[in-house]
A and B are shown apart, each in its own frame.
Chain A
Amino acid sequence: MAVAAQIVIDRVNHLYRPPRGREVLALDQVSLEVANREFVALLGPSGCGKSTLLYLIGGFLPVETGAILIDGQKIVGPGPDRGIVFQHFALFPWKTVRGNILYGLERLGIPKEEREKRSTDFIDLVGLTGFEDSYPSQLSGGMKQRTALARTLAFDPKILLMDEPFGALDAQTRSLMQSELLRIWQRTPKTVIFVTHDVQEAVFLADRVAVMSARPGRIKTIVNTKFDKNEPDIFKNKFFVEKVDEIWNVVKEEAIKAQGKRA
């Protein structure tokens, strides 16, 4: 008995057209299916097109070849059903933490009382109580990313798109945020597509890891990483380490190819 996948990516190509110079094929016949409430990681070397794929799903770039279907419908641009979180936070610097979170709720026409309540709830959820009236320039990297997360979660998208969200944070904050994200996701499950180049992060967070090849990006292999990760020293767990190794060997090939192309 097959349940229709929530997200269907069907043989998508993407041509990158720079203002000067030749066109480059960024994605080559990429196909992927993601089930409802699944956590999928897109893993690959730099330049493999994983972010591009994310932007296509988000509707920020037009799908020219192939199709992307959400619940059976072709996408027609960005929308609040697919919330995005960027690596560099993309917070509105002229708005406070609360202001940022309220923005999406205002666009959706949610009534004032409900808006205030929801924003307070999410500020609590990400642990930023006391900082509602701070501006992004007054926050640390980790706090900014928590704000960005709260902002996107607040308008309750059924799909969460995350573009290397912890890439700009230092190692300690990153590992804290990874646990946070998992905790939040376990409480309010959504479909998540998470772009990263960090294998351990992918194995820790995701149910499945889709490994992409170097440019032009293709899905090379998909590894199942759904198992119980609720132990304190999971990163040292034997099974975990084996999975990481397995995936790393695949990625390594592609990473070397990517380096070669750059040089």
Chain B
Amino acid sequence: MDARMARLIETMPRGSEPEGMPEKATRFVYTLVWGVARIFSVIALAIAWEALARSGVFTPFQLPALSAVLERIWTDAVSGDLWINTALTLYRALVAFAICAIGGVVIGMAMSRNQFVHWFFDPIVSIGFPMPKIAFLPVVILWLGVYDVSKITIIVIDAIFPVIAATVIAIQGVERELIWSARNMGASNRELLHQVILPAALPQIMTGMQVALPLSLIVAVVAEMLMGGYGLGGAMMTASRFANSTSVFAGILEIAVIGYALVKAMALIRRRLLIWHQEVTWQAFVP
């Protein structure tokens, strides 16, 4: 509720304070307008792609027509290949993400509460963060072979960092007065952790997870590209080796759609879990 609304409400006699109605209505209109604009621009982009492809500026090899790419996706869907590859990539990405989510929060919590754990992990997290951890993939393969385990492991190595960092910052940032209020009302240490600290830290922890999810997808795809076999990444690499550019573009489209769907799903989950949270209002780019 913005300051203007708040002041308006305060000057009104009690008992006739309006609910946040006007605010909800404007928000709905905003979302509607932006949604329409987005669909419009997707369509515009699609038309531009098709026109450009047909114009002859690029060869069909360099830029296959959108129609050809969609047809390819359709064929793959009918034959079942699309589903198998998608399911595999999603399986690897999501299993790894689950490990990151749980493991990351646990490690982050342990780091916040225990001096020794914090001392031990802090340099690892601090130095590990800006490293291109994908470089460790060959080492992981060396240790764990060429199957799903290695793929999942490298994803975890990459994506667990944002979760740990977000958890540590979130827990350290919990308002002192919240903790004191809870203690004031007789909360024990355990109750304090579960009933106050974790809920208070949740928004930021969720943000960390929202970074980790698309990251899990990217690393899954890259690992598949390197290691071949089934999965969206592997299929794309195979297509590129056979100079099948239509399939390569199809792969990009598929991964884009899945990436978008995952990000949207996370945003929805966030909205439901954090319905109470005062969201920072307008960001031009909602990832």
Contact = CB atoms under 8 A, between A and B. Distances in A.
Interface in B1-41: 1, 5-7, 9-11, 14-15, 17, 20
A90 B185 CA distance: 13
Interface residues of A, number: 37
A141 B277 contact: no
Interface in B171-198: 175, 177-178, 180-187, 191, 195-196
B6 A94 contact: no
A138 interface: yes
Given A58-B180, A78-B180, A139 B185 contact: no
A86 B6 contact: no
B68 to A, nearest CB: 50
A44 interface: no
A155 B185 CA distance: 8
Nearest to B279: A137
A107 B5 CA distance: 35
B199 interface: yes
A137 B281 CA distance: 13
B276 A94 contact: yes
B10 A138 contact: no
B79 interface: no
Interface residues of chain A: helix, strand, loop or mixed (majority): loop
A216 B277 CA distance: 39
B202 interface: yes
Contact of A90 (B14, B15, B181): B181
B184 A83 contact: yes
A60 B176 CA distance: 10
Contacts of B20: 138
Contacts of A84: 180-181, 184
B185 A140 contact: no
Contacts of A72: none
B276 A135 contact: yes
A90 B175 contact: yes
A228 B178 CA distance: 37
A94 to B, nearest CB: 5
Contacts of A234: none
B11 to A, nearest CB: 7
> Of B178, B185, B200, which is in contact with the most chain A CB atoms at under 10 Å from its CB?
B185
> Of B175, B177, B182, B195, which is in contact with the most chain A CB atoms at under 10 Å from its CB?
B177
Interface in A90-143: 90, 92-95, 103-104, 107-108, 127, 130, 135-142
Contact of B178 (A90, A135, A138): A90
Contact of B1 (A86, A93, A130, A140): A140
A80 B276 contact: no
Interface string A152-167: 1001000000000000
B186 A80 contact: yes
A140 B184 contact: no
B283 interface: no
A31 to B, nearest CB: 24
A66 interface: no
Given A80-B186, A107-B191, A108-B186, A137 B180 contact: no
Given A137-B278, A140-B6, A140-B9, A86 B186 contact: no
Interface of A: 55, 58, 60, 77-80, 82-84, 86, 88, 90, 92-95, 103-104, 107-108, 127, 130, 135-142, 151-152, 155, 170, 172-173
13 contacts: A58-B180, A60-B183, A79-B184, A88-B175, A90-B175, A93-B200, A94-B202, A103-B185, A103-B195, A107-B185, A137-B278, A140-B7, A142-B10
Interface of B: 1, 5-7, 9-11, 14-15, 17, 20, 175, 177-178, 180-187, 191, 195-196, 199-200, 202, 274-278
